[in-house]
Structure 1
């Protein structure tokens, strides 16, 4: 995205309300006002520099003074910051205002670090292409991160014009709804404009657009923006995947109100401290667990397990339970990298379950003998 596609006019301070400025942010900024600093919102970050929209317009600032040891506290698109006034050259971001929400995933490295993708987000729009087979497990993974961030998720099934008929589309929407309790699921066609008005009406405040490469995020962003702001690349026919059209995270003003953060396609979506988010995605399993005979039921082979009972009578699909277990294990493994006490507790539980399994096998052999 070029600098020319960023807002170029000089908005008044009241115009920062378009970007989400409110009384709460005004109060947070008060301690910096006496220092002659300006409030602004980061609309793009690129190699240690960032574009910040202020009352003067969009300014270029260096982030050198806020480079922390904690990677979770780096300057990110969507942050509200205190930045140098116009007379200072070069200009620096001097401080971040406390974030209200943040969308975080684990890094692809083996280190137990998170990567913040967007800050101060109200809605997480998860784009999923209907041009490829639905991967409900991946959708559940995105949803766990979205709920954990503090944002309200919305699942948008893109490229609905490629589905042969309305009945099939309705069936696909229903499948996703079972994997996304409490979440609105919309099928849209950005090419034909179907469903865009409905989606736009949902997105007040700040929204972040997430999904894999080839999910149609840039086309969807252009449809919501009402202009060809984001470049679009064709999807490969061989596997339905796309190239990274968006290479930076950009904050853009929506004509219907609010702002949109577009992000590069995500190949990996690792959980990061998302236990509460996983619980929200699988709320029906969490509710069933409250009815189990034992409060620490592992839903494996315990008597009086309400989760296994629901599995047996068909009210809980096996795929949902498998996905729930997988995401919880992944989240626990990540947390254990930095928490020695948790590592010891996990080892204790594994040993206890192993002993229980061996005892059950011995009892079974005794009965057979």
Structure 2
């Protein structure tokens, strides 16, 4: 745990407070509330807005544990708020969608901006409105169906199934992750992580298609790195978490260590026998993409990654976790070994750990649009 993180203790010695602990300086971005009751969990708490303050009480009683002054309850418990946000998004109620956003919101989506005009960074509600206007010009519709919310404090990774259709009737689909930061009860930042190559293929009318050089130059937007001084949830029930990584984090770290060495014995220890390894991307162009089952198949895919690409760095920018699932944000600039053409992409790994502490599945939400371009020798390139 970094020293910048401030710990606020609700109680000591296993005794719940008779009177609520008043906390006057809690920062939802980086502080941690320590409730010294290892038998409790977030499911046992209720977060209530009381004017400008947040009251935290036990769900099965009227006992108030703490009062956090000038803190919005949504910053501590954002998932119910986000479920309403996605309902508005699914109903295509853009005016209501905008009401969930901070005035200075930063909305990002990676991708080639000349081919997908709504990719890039959009600032403020006016910028997000422009995002949706440009998206509407290119697509007949898009559906995002949330399947999992991984929440850690005011940061949430929302895992979704995405699908849509262009104005010309060409369909696309693929997994999507939104990395969201909540501040003062509103969405302060939203980053969209998805493979945009299927969207490009659909916008080009399907295969075969050729992508020519852009008159204004090619600009592939890459989501900016998001970091935090806090590596735990904003509320913890056992102080040992500051010194000992939770089981889910340990398993994810063991997986990355095993993949670096690619030793069969280490990989078998890290992965479940029937692990599902899913790397997004067009498999006929990118050999390591697709779904594989089992540790050996996963290693084959990992070896193909090393054989075809050289990374400037493979940096895990941030990991958040909830229960047995971790979301890992990774920055990946590199170069195609075959063509020497560089690429830069950002990735979210969704890692699920089983009861035995082994990785049961990993989904690599990587944007392969610029990787495909690099593999095919740069523009102009043709996909058959």
Q: Which TM-score tier does this pair reach, normalised by the shorter chain?
A: under 0.3
TM-score by length of 1: 0.26
Task: From the two aligned structures, give the one with the greater strand fraction.
Answer: 2
Task: From the two aligned structures, give the one with the greater helix fraction.
Answer: 1
TM-score by length of 2: 0.25
